[in-house]
Amino acid sequence: MPSWQSSFVDRLRHMGRPKGATADTDIAELRRHYAYLSDRFGAPPRDAKFEPAQVGPLKGEWVRVGNASPGRVILYFHGGGYIAGSPETHRALVARLVQASDAAAFVLDYRLAPEFAFPAAVRDGIDAYRHLLARGTPPQSIVFAGDGSGGGLAFSVLHAARNANLPMPAACAVMSPWADLSLSGFSVLQNGKSDNALNWELLFLSARHYLRKNNPCDPYASPVFASFKDFPPLMVHAGSQEMLRDDASRIGDRAADANVPVSVEIYDGMQHLFQGSRHVPEAKVSLQRLGQFIRARTGAQQNAAQ
């Protein structure tokens, strides 16, 4: 049973959400839809600090709240359907995750479609991880994390890192991952009317801009079709009312098939990226759980990248 705070927020958001995308919706309007979604995250914690930075040639920003442990680094991939979003749009959400996990996060400003189509984002992600390792950051102190398409990208980069024989990070923790660009999960249809953030046309057009003529079932684009052999421990959170609910469940199935430790938590009555609603009790519980997982999987050793 969802909390009354969650139900109240959901009603307000349902009334205020933009009209659904159509086949004729241009890229500017699609990006405005994603901007509306990230605007709902609100303000970051007052003591959060944001520092523009580069990891090798790749731009992004470091996010810190308080005295973060130097032995915990989150490589974060923001959402936005691969066509929108930036480190700035996701500051509030990332800062609250950083606060819960006692870590510092590097939020990668990866290239976006349609200007830079698949696999540009995956290449940026694997390059960022390579540069963190080259700077002396121990892999056992790094956790991949992300939301929405960024959650799917985190698994795609894990897939690329494993296939490149790079050492695996300590863990991967994601929120509402978009991990199947073929939109074949049953919840895409089942929750089409209950999801107050996403709609089929928005996802389909975003995938088309990102993939161009590539196969949506390519495991580097849709990690639900990848092998999870040798992946690190995983934690995946999603809402029962969102269209991407089954993407989270299928990630759990793939991990279980590969004997990878995994925890998939589907929050009853919750929407896509409910963690962005800072006054909702379920959001606080989810972020605390994710933070606990990150702390448990990383050490406190000194980190040369900080």
**pLDDT tens-digit profile of 32-46?**
999 999 999 999 999
| Predicted TM-score (pTM) above 0.85 | yes
Handedness of CA 278, 106, 244, 195 (dihedral sign): positive
Q: What is the pLDDT of residues 51-88, one digit of tens each?
A: 999 999 999 999 999 888 888 999 999 999 999 999 99
Single-letter amino acid, residue 195: D
Alpha carbon distances (Å) from 181 to 62, 117, 148, 169, 244: 29, 14, 12, 25, 10
What's the pLDDT at 2?
A: 66
pLDDT at position 21 over 70: no
Around Cβ 32, how many Cβ atoms within 10 Å?
Answer: 13
Residue 180 has pLDDT above 50, yes or no: yes
CA distance 221 to 236: 18
- Mean pLDDT computed over 99-108: 97
**Cα gap 95→62, rounded to integer Å:** 10
pLDDT classification of 24: cutoffs 50, 70, 90: confident
Domains and CATH numbers, the chain: 4-297 (3.40.50.1820)
DSSP structure class, residue 214 = S
104 and 145 Cβ atoms separated by less than 8 Å: no
Across the strands, what pairs with 142?
73
